[in-house]
Amino acid sequence: MRCPYCQHYDSKVLDTSHDSHGGIRRRRECFKCGQRFSTYERPILATPLIIKQDGTREEFDREKLARGIRISCAKRPVSATDIERLIGQVEAQLQKMGKAEVSSRVVGDLVINGLKEMDQIAYIRYAIVYLGLDDLHALRKEIDHLLES
């Protein structure tokens, strides 16, 4: 592993921990400059192609998903850890399906269900775009539905 500070190729592992998604976090120290840094390893599993509404297909893009979730959670008391956890859960669910292709609606449904549990304002923000809530009556209906449950 290359040191991010001096670019030296040799470092030693000080600590290793595992997360619930099969990833490994390693705390390292560079032999040359002595700086410490962390690395994260996760298994590369095949994610399905995403079938968009217009019928086109594209690779699953973890960063694109993260951008959408971060926008909906902007200025909300949602930690970066919670956002990363949701992204990891969505990606893991897609991989567990074992399908070569999945509709973008499946991805959206997984995200919206996760946001509903995490932060209701972030959920509404995401729902405005995802569910196409384009007028105040539709938005109010969704908020009323949220308040009932």
Determine, yes or no, domain membership for 1.
no
Determine, yes or no, domain membership for 106.
yes
23 and 59: one domain? no
Determine, yes or no, domain membership for 85.
yes
Q: Is 14 left (phi over 0), alpha (psi -120 to 50) or beta?
A: alpha
The structural domain count of the chain equals 2
88 and 22: one domain? no
Determine, yes or no, domain membership for 107.
yes
Average pLDDT, the chain: 90
53 and 36: one domain? no
Determine, yes or no, domain membership for 5.
no
Predicted local distance difference test score (pLDDT) of residue 90:
94
27 and 84: one domain? no
The secondary structure of residue 137, as a DSSP letter, is H
Determine, yes or no, domain membership for 6.
no
Which tokens belong to 56? Answer: 């086109």
Query: Which residues span the domain enclosing 72?
Result: 49-148
The secondary structure of residue 74, as a DSSP letter, is T
Determine, yes or no, domain membership for 16.
yes
Residue-wise pLDDT for 87-111, tens only, equals: 999 998 998 888 889 999 999 999 9
Q: Based on the number of CB atoms within 10 Å of its own CB, is 30 exposed (0-12), middle (13-18) or buried (19 or more)? A: buried
56 and 123: one domain? yes
In degrees, rounded to 5, the angle at the alpha carbon of residue 123 between the alpha carbons of residues 116 and 47 is 75
Decide if pLDDT at 133 tops 90: no
Residue-wise pLDDT for 8-43, tens only, equals: 999 999 999 987 667 899 999 999 999 999 998 877
Any residues with CB less than 8 A from the CB of 133 and at least 6 apart, and which? Answer: 127, 139, 142
Q: How confident is the model at residue 44 (pLDDT cuts 50, 70, 90)?
A: low
16 and 58: one domain? no
Predicted local distance difference test score (pLDDT) of residue 70:
95
Residue-wise pLDDT for 46-83, tens only, equals: 788 999 989 999 999 999 999 999 999 999 999 999 99
